[in-house]
């Protein structure tokens, strides 16, 4: 272990830890914008500067490894002035639209502007990035809000591996670009939205979120994504009981802050008006069981080929007990008549491990078939 002092507090940490990580791990907050715990160090924003005893100039703590006996200060008048000037520069190239901005309330630039008392820039204002791209249904790119922290490019290149975007140009022409600055939809982007998650400002926003309410009005519900067996932890931002957007729940061990496109953007089924919410029995079977007095015959035309299936035309809603009893009877009948391999089971990742264990046991030992699969393989 390495022993060091931060703001007069004696601490110990493991070799290989940066000063920023050591400070954060011990509850000492250090302003930062380009740093992200799951990405490589960029060192671009300079906001995380700290003073080290014996070193003349402040050093960026996100790229500085802890060393035995270091004496570090994360706060001083000089550091505050420096951070104030950095935010002032960011704001000189950023519209101060916080009153109407969808990111207000969860924007790190806004937080630091508040912290350092910056209401407007002391420099000449010049908005150098004007890209506005809404060419896909998943997220908006509005680069007037971009602060060039490079978190999006690092997540895309280092974590996702899609390499769809990178920082190009110099000075006022620097921007996040797709190859040849083409539309996102024509790039190698897989629309996972991890860049949207790590973006500290409104430069990248989920489409579903635009104009749907302020951050502080939204209720957060944590859940587990049901699409596959990884079981990523996910957080839904909801307003009036409707999901507005989904994001990874921060710093979780399974998926960190990352999600795939299904978990992040594939949740609209939840409030879809055609979502099945009760068991349904085909009308001819329901008629035989006396559950409806409307006789009905299965059409020659496959329901899959019908342009729009109207559920009420062909099915009758029933309670779970009726549905399970009927399913058990039909299963037994089929196995008896055609043998165990005439049926197969498909289990759901939304069930627990124990449920899935029981399911495979039921199929193998109860029914007597190995015809079983699981949606996690889809």
Residues in the site for ligand FES, rule: CB under 6 A? 32-35, 43-48, 60, 62
Return the number of the residue (32 or 283) whose C-beta is nearest ligand FES: 32
Query: What is the spatial distance between Cα 292 and Cα 315, in angstroms, rounded to a whole number?
Result: 10
Q: How far is the CB of 133 from ligand FES (least distance, A)?
A: 26
Return the number of the residue (52 or 184) whose C-beta is nearest ligand FES: 52
Q: How far is the CB of 148 from ligand SF4 (least distance, A)?
A: 5
From ligand FES, ligand SF4, none, which one binds at residue 177 (CB under 5 to 8 Å depending on kind)? none
The DSSP result for 256-324, as a single string, is: BT---HHHHH--GGGG-TT---S-EEEHHHHHHTTS-S------SS-TTTSSS--HHHHEEE--HHHHH
Show the binding pattern over residues 175-214: x = contacts ligand SF4 (CB under 6 A), - = does not.
-x------------xxxxxxx--xxxxxxx----------
Q: How many CA atoms lie within 13 A of 22 on its CB side?
A: 31
Q: Are 147 and 200 in contact (CB under 8 A)?
A: yes
Does the protein bind ligand SF4 through residue 98 (CB under 6 A)?
Answer: yes
Q: How far is the CB of 83 from ligand SF4 (least distance, A)?
A: 15
Structure-token pair, residue 255: 């998926």
From ligand SF4, ligand FES, none, which one binds at residue 107 (CB under 5 to 8 Å depending on kind)? ligand SF4
Give the strand pairing for 71-73 and 132-133.
unpaired
Q: How far is the CB of 48 from ligand FES (least distance, A)?
A: 3
Binder of ligand SF4 out of 32, 36, 83, 103 (CB under 6 A) = 103
Cα 215 to Cα 103, 219, 220: the distances in Å are 7, 9, 10
Structure-token pair, residue 23: 């400070």
Q: Which stretch binds ligand SF4 (CB under 6 A): 7-15, 144-152, 279-287, 296-304?
A: 144-152
Q: Which long-range contacts (CB under 8 A, 24 or more apart) does 130-134 make?
A: 131/175, 133/183, 133/184, 134/207
Q: How far is the CB of 32 from ligand FES (least distance, A)?
A: 4
The DSSP result for 209-221, as a single string, is: GTTS--GGG-EEE
Q: How far is the CB of 215 from ligand SF4 (least distance, A)?
A: 9
Q: How many CA atoms lie within 13 A of 328 on its CB side?
A: 8
Q: Are 4 and 67 in contact (CB under 8 A)?
A: yes
From ligand FES, ligand SF4, none, which one binds at residue 60 (CB under 5 to 8 Å depending on kind)? ligand FES
Chain Cα centroid distance, residue 358: 32
Region 294-353 residues binding ligand SF4, contact defined as CB under 6 A? none
Return the number of the residue (43 or 340) whose C-beta is nearest ligand FES: 43
Which residues contact ligand SF4 by CB under 6 A?
A: 94-98, 101, 103-104, 107, 109-110, 145-152, 155-156, 160, 162, 164-165, 176, 189-195, 198-204
């Amino acid at each position: 272990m390495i022993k060091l002092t931060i703001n007069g507090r004696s601490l110990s940490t493991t070799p290989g830890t940066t000063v920023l990580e050591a400070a954060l791990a011990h509850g000492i907050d250090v302003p930062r914008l380009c740093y992200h715990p799951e990405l490589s160090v960029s060192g671009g924003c300079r906001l995380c500067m700290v003073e080290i005893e014996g070193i003349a100039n402040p050093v960026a703590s996100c790229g500085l490894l802890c060393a035995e006996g270091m004496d570090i200060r994360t706060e001083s008048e000089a550091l505050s002035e420096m951070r104030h000037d950095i935010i002032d520069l960011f704001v000189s190239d950023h519209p101060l639209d916080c009153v109407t901005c969808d990111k207000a309330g969860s924007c790190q630039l806004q937080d630091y502007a508040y912290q350092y008392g910056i209401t407007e820039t002391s420099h000449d204002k010049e908005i150098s990035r004007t890209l506005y791209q809404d060419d896909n249904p998943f997220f908006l790119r509005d680069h007037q809000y971009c602060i060039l922290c490079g978190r999006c490019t690092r997540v895309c290149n280092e974590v996702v591996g899609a390499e769809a975007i990178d920082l190009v140009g110099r000075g006022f022409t620097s921007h996040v670009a797709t190859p040849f600055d083409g539309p996102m939809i024509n790039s190698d982007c897989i629309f996972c939205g991890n860049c949207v998650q790590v973006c500290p400002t409104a430069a990248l926003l989920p489409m579903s979120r635009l104009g749907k309410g302020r951050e502080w009005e939204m209720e957060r519900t944590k859940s587990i994504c049901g699409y596959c067996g990884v079981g990523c932890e996910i957080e839904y931002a909801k307003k009036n009981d409707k999901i507005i957007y989904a994001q990874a729940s921060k710093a979780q061990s399974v998926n960190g802050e990352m999600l795939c496109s299904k978990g992040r953007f594939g949740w609209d089924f939840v409030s879809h008006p055609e979502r099945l919410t009760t068991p349904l029995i085909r009308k001819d079977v329901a008629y035989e069981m006396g559950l409806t007095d409307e006789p009905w015959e299965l059409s020659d035309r496959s329901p899959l080929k019908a342009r729009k299936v109207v559920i009420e035309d062909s099915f009758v809603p029933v309670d779970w007990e009726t549905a399970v009893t009927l399913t058990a009877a039909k299963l037994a009948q089929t196995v008896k008549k055609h043998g165990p391999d005439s049926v197969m089971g498909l289990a759901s990742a939304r069930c627990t491990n124990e449920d899935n264990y029981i399911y495979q046991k039921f199929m193998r030992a109860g029914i007597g078939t190995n015809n079983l699969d699981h949606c996690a393989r889809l």
